[in-house]
Amino acid sequence: MIEVYIGLNSGGWALNGRTQGWSAHADPAQGLERWARVIGQRHAGRWRWAQATLWLSGGLARPFLCGPLAGLTSWREAETFAAAVAPEATGLDGPCRVQLEDWPGDALALGTALDATLAEAIDAVANSSRIAWRSIRPRWAAALDDMLAQRPSAALVAVAEEDALTLLCSPTTSVASPGGLELASTYAPAPDPAQATTLWHRVMLSHDVPADDAWLVHLAVPEVGVEGTVSTSDRSGVWPRLVQLAAGLTS
């Protein structure tokens, strides 16, 4: 299985869970194009289109709560509304492409916003390189899946990455319950570990979330090389992994 991870400042790719390359980049789109070329060159002799999963950091793919808004009549209208409010809700600059998880006309719905220019670059890479995207997801969404598999009642989830801290909170039910979220925020640039822990504790107390249902994890990435180089020192290690910072998650 091929995986690509792109953040605001660094990224890389893995094959069957082991890092093959990692480096810093000045622009996420350029970093993505680079790893797509590398993957295409490596697999060109085996099959024409390499299938890959693309993970986006919380600094790039940011959650927010959208709605409720009376009078919406179609998904197109809902997505147009969500795209209009996304920049202010997430702190992203410029137009956004948004994916909604539920209908925002009746209650708050979770949306994920991505800068429209980066979204277009992702599409362009798929069209121009020997690589096709099996799926495109925020890395925090996969972390959320992993945590809920261990603790379905989790009501507060915080995922710290190099470029952002993502917080999802549903104090009266699990974050997996439709329509139950009361908080979906991204803090970018990322606070340091001490600040992240303080913020996590503050949200847990202010929303009255039991300690056993509150989770704070850090996504540990391979060692980053300097701009334009690939760090190979972590190739024997696993792909970006969850490490416990506080509460119930065991890494």
Contact 73, 162 (CB under 8 A): no
32, amino acid identity: L
- Say yes or no: 120 and 80 in one domain: no
Q: Which of 133, 160, 131 is nearest to 36 (CA)?
A: 131
Q: Are residues 36 and 94 in the same domain?
A: no
Judgement on whether residues 184 and 143 belong to the same structural domain of the protein? yes
218 and 121 within one domain: yes
The answer to whether residues 168 and 109 belong to one domain is no
Provide the angle, in degrees to the nearest 10, between the axes of the packed helices 116-128 and 28-43. Answer: 20
- The number of domains in the chain is 2
Look up the domain containing 235 and give its range: 2-60+115-247
For residue 150, pLDDT beyond 80: yes
| Distance in angstroms (rounded) separating the CA atoms of residues 230 and 8 | 17
Q: Which residue has the higher pLDDT, 214 or 43?
A: 214
Encode pLDDT of 14-58 as tens digits: 988 888 889 899 999 999 999 998 988 887 666 567 789 999 999
Q: Which two tokens stand for residue 24?
A: 């810093």
State whether 209 and 129 are in the same domain: yes
- Residue pointed to by tokens 């329509």: 179
144 vs 240, more confident: 144
Average pLDDT, the chain: 85
Q: pLDDT-based confidence at 246, cuts 50/70/90?
A: low
127 lies in the same domain as 209 = yes
Asked if pLDDT for residue 148 goes beyond 90, the answer is no
**Among 92, 113, 134, where does a domain finish?**
113
Q: Are residues 193 and 81 in the same domain?
A: no
Are residue 47 and residue 164 in the same domain, yes or no? yes
Separation CA 39–CA 50 (nearest Å): 7
Both 74 and 179 in one domain: the answer is no
Question: Phi and psi at residue 175, in whole multiples of 5°?
Answer: -65, -15
